[in-house]
Structure 1
Amino acid sequence: MSVHINERIKKQRELKGWSQRELARRININSSVMNRIELGTRPVEDHEIKLIANILEVSTDYLLCETDDPTPREKANESTACHEFQNLTENEKEYLGLQLELFRKIKDQN
């Protein structure tokens, strides 16, 4: 079975506990338009995709069915960085702390 953008929008809206009317209000479109989007009878316009993804806190890639991971790229990168940091030795953490301190001093000078 092929998944479509309209199904992903509906699924994520329902996970948030929002009505179609609520999502439509948040993205500033008519609720009848939101209904047609979810039914798949009205395509999502390019400028609406990013807006809907931001409101639903998912990635545009997820809405466009290019990945099954709804995590926005920024959050995925943040999670990966935190995981990597946790796996460092104490010496590596200390070294990175010193590098960060140096970076901030240089940045403040500019």
Structure 2
Amino acid sequence: MDKDILRSRIIEQRKKRAWSQVEFAKRMNVGRSTVAMWETGDRVPDTPTIHRLAEIFDISADYLLGLSDNPSPVIKNVDDKDGLAFIDGETPLTEEEKEYLKESLELFRRMKAKREQQKP
């Protein structure tokens, strides 16, 4: 783990959301001084805290740690048979949920195609 990348990405993500150190500390349930130490590199968050940071920022822990340049969270639930992938959801989708999502996607595609046909 590169400590400089971690601290800079914490700063980047906090500022991206326009959070003060105090506001961010409240969201993390830590003191402002802890946030300041993370951001100066004087303290490195432990593994559970890195997981919490990734959740709060809605980014991957790999991105925070400098193991990836892609901040997108990792897809947790993939249904290969149907080709459906979702970022959240620890439990598998029901057949009814899958059908609803497929129908919604199909409706979206039809509406998009219609809008594109109407463009001058």
Common fold by TM > 0.5: yes
Paired-residue identity, %: 33
Question: Over residues 59-78 of structure 1, what are the superposed CA-to-partner deviations in whole Å (9 max), with x where a residue is unaligned?
Answer: 00100100011011138x7x
Moved over 3 A (4+): none
- Aligned-residue RMSD, C-alpha: 2.4
Whole-angstrom distance in 1 between the partners of 2:32 and 2:51: 18
Could you say which structure has the higher strand fraction? 2
Cα distance in 2 for residues equivalent to 1:48 and 1:13: 15
Q: TM-score, normalised by structure 2?
A: 0.60
Equivalences for residues 63-74 of structure 1 within 5 A: 63-74=64-75
Aligned length: 81
Aligned partner of 2:104 in structure 1 is none
Distance 1:50 1:27 in 2: 11
| Structure 1 residue 43 displacement after superposition | 1.0
Within 5 A, what are the aligned runs for 1:47-66? 47-66=48-67
Q: Which runs of 5+ in 2 are unaligned?
A: 86-93, 97-120
Q: Give runs of aligned pairs for residues 8-87 of structure 1, distance below 5 A.
A: 8-74=9-75
